[in-house]
């Protein structure tokens, strides 16, 4: 018996592990960042599918709040990672 | 019959989402990969709506997809302009690659088993009941806003601090991004129409967050999208105030208001961020307004990669 939570949760697991593999095997920096973002999306999917309580009832709002802040933190971490990489690859013309 | 339609819909949605996620990561051209990632994020927003998480759908569409996509494209542009330093060749060590695949397959099996076991055999109802029984005492009627700004306000307070720290880190790295060309007629015409609309939508999301999906994060993200749009169509300052002092004040106002209200309540003999019932609605709206401004400014500055002030608000027509 496959419930809605289960199929979305398993999709999240698939997404997370596949993206994790890509993130670990790639060399190009931006590809890794992209893969980590997809992996994060898979993780959020597992979390939110567990919070789903069926069509008739409202879902659990606590994971929703956590994922909401997680999305914002993921963006700022991505921006920081990109800035760090650019600083790393910049020709050494430090002022 | 209806159940069958839902099942078909679920499988179509999941298949499309997984296919997009897979192709975004395995396509050869990185630019195409980022475009596919943006499409993937939009489908993911649909998934959030399907799983009854409209707050997350809004945030995903605005931040997870819109701003992250714009950021990745901008980073790709910088990387390409840096004389194509990126090598796209695969690592040669195939044994390590097979080991990695085996390890991730095992990890997927373990995680999948754990998930199925948790959903089938463990009767854990989560914290939904606790939230809904206490909702009347939170000052708002949207449960997600109640969790974010009241029940777990401490988390949100620290999360704003995390945002601030990330942007301070980006600023201190001092990597400026090349300015964009002044946009053509179509984009600049669209920008003139869109930016005021985005500001109104942002204010609406902030207000409606008390009783319907919306709130400070979605609102701040929409406002930040307006700034990024301005920047992309050639306005160098991205709509931020020209004076550095005001920008810095806007950056910290969210954390500041949060801290002042929390500490003020402690002075009045309550716990940190333990709102009195009669005041909680207004206090939450006050915090959210300050947080929206801070989130918008920090997100824009994260996109700009820190360079502020020097070039000011002047429109950049050179380059």
Based on the fold, state whether residues B158 and B303 are members of the same structural domain.
Answer: yes
Structural domain includes residue B300:
yes
Structural domain includes residue B13:
yes
The tens digit of pLDDT for each residue in B195-254 reads 999 999 999 999 998 888 888 899 999 999 898 888 888 777 777 777 788 888 888 899
CA distance A83 to chain B (A): 6
The predicted model gives B76-89 an average pLDDT of 64
Structural domain includes residue A95:
no
Structural domain includes residue A41:
yes
Helix (H, G, I), strand (E, B) or coil at B271: coil
Long-range contacts at B166-170 (CB < 8 A, ≥ 24 apart): B166/A76, B166/A77, B166/A79, B166/A80, B166/B298, B166/B302, B167/A76, B167/A79, B167/B251, B167/B298, B167/B301, B167/B302, B167/B306, B169/A80, B169/A83, B170/A79, B170/A80, B170/A83, B170/B301, B170/B302, B170/B305, B170/B306
A65 to B75: CB separation less than 8 angstroms, yes or no: no
Structural domain includes residue B127:
no
B44 touches chain A (CB under 8 A): yes
Structural domain includes residue A63:
yes
Structural domain includes residue B316:
no
Q: What is the CATH number of the domain that holds A57?
A: 1.10.287
Model confidence band, residue B306 (pLDDT cutoffs 50, 70, 90): low
B38 touches chain A (CB under 8 A): no
Write out the residue range of the structural domain in which residue A76 sits: 2-89
Structural domain includes residue A32:
yes
Extract the tokens encoding B169. 């880190």
A76 pLDDT higher than 70: yes
A58 to B107: CB separation less than 8 angstroms, yes or no: no
- Select from B117, B149, B172 the last residue of a domain: B117
Structural domain includes residue A85:
yes
Q: What is the total count of domains within chain B?
A: 2
- Interface predicted TM-score (ipTM) of this complex, two decimals: 0.92
Alpha-carbon distance of A54 to B76, in angstroms, equals: 41
Based on the fold, state whether residues B154 and B299 are members of the same structural domain.
Answer: yes
Interface of A with B in 17-76 (CB under 8 A): 17-22, 24-25, 27-31, 33-35, 37-38, 41-42, 44-46, 48-53, 55, 58-69, 71-76
Extract the tokens encoding B186. 């179509």
Helical ranges in B209-279 per DSSP H: 216-232, 244-267
CA distance A39 to chain B (A): 9
Based on the fold, state whether residues B174 and B66 are members of the same structural domain.
Answer: no
CA atoms within 13 A on the CB side of B212: 5
Based on the fold, state whether residues B178 and B305 are members of the same structural domain.
Answer: yes
CA distance A36 to chain B (A): 10
B40 to A64: CB separation less than 8 angstroms, yes or no: no
Based on the fold, state whether residues B197 and B299 are members of the same structural domain.
Answer: yes
Q: What is the total count of domains within chain A?
A: 1
Structural domain includes residue B317:
no
Based on the fold, state whether residues B170 and B85 are members of the same structural domain.
Answer: no
Based on the fold, state whether residues B149 and B66 are members of the same structural domain.
Answer: no
CB atoms inside a 10 Å sphere around CB B49: 16
Structural domain includes residue B135:
no
Based on the fold, state whether residues B206 and B296 are members of the same structural domain.
Answer: yes
Write out the residue range of the structural domain in which residue B202 sits: 140-309
- Select from B54, B84, B117 the last residue of a domain: B117
Which one of B30, B108, B118 has the shortest CB-CB distance to A14?
B108
The predicted model gives A16-43 an average pLDDT of 90
The predicted model gives B24-43 an average pLDDT of 91
Average pLDDT value over all residues in chain B:
84
By CB atoms closer than 10 A (0-12, 13-18, 19+), residue B249 is middle
Based on the fold, state whether residues B156 and B109 are members of the same structural domain.
Answer: no
- Select from B117, B150, B171 the last residue of a domain: B117
């Amino acid at each position: 018996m496959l419930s809605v939570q289960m199929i979305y949760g398993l999709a999240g697991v698939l997404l997370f592990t596949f993206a994790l593999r890509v993130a670990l095997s790639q060399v190009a920096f931006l590809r890794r960042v992209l893969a980590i973002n997809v992996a994060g999306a898979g993780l959020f999917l597992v979390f939110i599918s567990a919070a789903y309580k069926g069509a008739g009832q409202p879902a659990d709002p606590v994971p929703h709040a956590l994922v909401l802040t997680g999305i914002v933190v993921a963006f700022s971490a991505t921006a920081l990672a990109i800035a760090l990489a650019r600083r790393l690859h910049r020709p050494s013309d430090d002022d | 019959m209806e159940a069958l339609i839902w099942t078909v819909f679920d499988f179509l949605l999941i298949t499309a989402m997984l296919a997009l996620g897979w192709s975004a990561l395995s396509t050869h051209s990185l630019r195409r990969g980022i475009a596919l990632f943006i499409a993937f994020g939009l489908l993911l927003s649909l998934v959030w709506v399907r799983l009854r998480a409209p707050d997350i759908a809004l945030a995903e569409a605005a931040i997870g997809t819109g701003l992250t996509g714009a950021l990745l494209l901008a980073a790709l542009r910088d990387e390409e302009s840096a004389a194509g330093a990126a090598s796209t060749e695969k690592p040669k060590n195939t044994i390590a690659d097979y080991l990695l695949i085996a390890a991730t397959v095992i990890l997927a099996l373990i995680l999948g088993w754990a998930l199925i076991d948790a959903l089938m055999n463990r009767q854990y109802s989560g914290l939904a009941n606790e939230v809904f029984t206490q909702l009347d005492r939170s000052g708002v009627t949207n449960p997600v806003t109640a969790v974010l700004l009241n029940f777990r306000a401490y988390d949100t307070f620290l999360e704003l601090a995390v945002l601030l720290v990330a942007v301070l880190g980006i600023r201190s790295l001092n990597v400026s991004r090349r300015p964009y060309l002044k946009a053509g007629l179509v984009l600049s015409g669209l920008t003139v129409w869109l930016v005021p609309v985005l500001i109104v939508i942002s204010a609406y999301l902030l207000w409606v967050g008390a009783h319907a999906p919306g709130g400070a994060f979605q609102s701040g993200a929409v406002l930040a999208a307006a700034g990024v749009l301005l920047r992309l169509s050639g306005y160098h300052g991205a709509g931020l105030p020209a004076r550095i002092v005001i920008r810095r004040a806007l950056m910290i106002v969210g954390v500041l208001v949060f801290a002042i209200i929390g500490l003020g309540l402690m002075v009045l003999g309550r716990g940190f961020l333990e709102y009195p019932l009669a005041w909680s609605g207004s206090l939450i709206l006050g915090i959210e307004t300050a947080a929206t401004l801070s989130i918008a400014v920090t997100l824009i500055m994260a996109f700009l990669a820190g360079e502020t002030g020097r070039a000011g608000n002047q429109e950049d027509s050179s380059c």
